[in-house]
Structure 1
Amino acid sequence: MTTTLNLKKKERVAFVLETLQALYPEPPIPLDHKDAYTLLVAVLLSAQCTDERVNQVTPGLWQLADNPFDMAKVPVEDIQQVIRPCGLSPQKSKAISRLSQILIEKYNGEVPADFAALESLPGVGHKTASVVMSQAFDQPAFAVDTHIHRLAQRWGLTNGKNVEQTEKDLKRLFPQHCWNKLHLQIIYYAREHCSARGCDGTRCMICQHCYPNRKKPFIALKP
């Protein structure tokens, strides 16, 4: 009787790339925006909030202000009222107001295309900076969120206990020119095929193909 073997890591990487490219050849950016500033604010709002909810909220926020010069003039209380559905509104409203002021003071109202400068802004961590660098400035970055962290573990691409280690592992495995698109492709696949509850590491096409011998649910480490 022939036993189907689990794929080696190199084979898993190749299959992931091939499958995701076939499913999502041109994945759209999920957060609605018109420029680097509105993307930065939208990504900030997406912390512990769904992209769908952010897209419902941001049109009302852009009516108040859609650039740092106007946003800096809006009272924090007014920003907070609009973004309340996104959660963490006290912290997020203060961050949006203050980062808008800093962009004016230090960068002539422009969002800097620089990791260190972005990460120095209030409310902007490494993941947010990575999204802005890749999606607004087309610079290679690999923003790892909980979706990507979970799938990278299910697919045997990392055993990292945090998103920082997962990012390092994925950057080593995949060519740099793939990073920006692959980040989005994995997120879409996670939502549609390999969600936290919809797949336990044994059900979706990639999990099944990469680990045909996996019979028990795979428990991914939370970041």
Structure 2
Amino acid sequence: MNIRTLIASIAGVFMMLVFGCCTTVKNDIYAEAFVVSNQPPREIRVLVFYDGHVTEQQISEVLGKTASSLNEQVGITLLYDVILPSMCMRGHADYPDGAVTRLVECYNEFQTTNNIGDEFDLIISFQIGSVVSDVVGGLFRNVFIPTWEGVIDNTWRRYITLRTTDTWVVLHEIFHAFILEYDHSMCGIMAPVQLQILPGVGIKSRYLSQADRREVLKNKFRVFRNIEGPK
């Protein structure tokens, strides 16, 4: 995303939040018709790599929260039983394109080493980095600065690299795997930026907009081995 696009996105999100033209599914999730429309369910199998600056327990906790929201909003079940410490991702998190490329290589190495086929749907890496990078990331979080905390590849839409254990970011990137006609929208969790009003007080939703949910449901049973970049 270049700076002009970022500024336009920020302006659009601000106008939507101020004048309120976009609604999320937050108030619909318990409605009978909504619950029925989540059927049939789909299971997504996830392979997770992580560096030495986050624990398996932390990853399980954030993926548990993410899985709950996915199931609630679109009827997707996240299976994340394979969580592996890995050296292969270290030193590749500075630039999103490089981080994703290295994640693809890591997955290929994993398949070769273990003599297995392409058995997973999503491949995720948690590259949290050092304590210093955590502090710096925290300073930039929720403000209008074009840093990145999560990225998904634009070819298969299945390789996700994360520099945070923020559930919002994890959920946002996973929804990108099912929203293929466009990248972002003007409200809900797929808005391209988060707004910070005062320190500790922000506007951030974990719910899809109505239109984004329709797009996710349309692609709910996509084949992850297929090239599915933005149309």
Instruction: Tell me the TM-score normalised to structure 2 length.
Output: 0.29
The structure showing larger relative contact order (alpha-carbon pairs under 8 Å, at least 6 residues apart) is: 2
**Higher helix proportion, which one?**
1
Task: Return the index of the structure with the highest Cα Rg.
Answer: 1
Instruction: Tell me the TM-score normalised to structure 1 length.
Output: 0.30
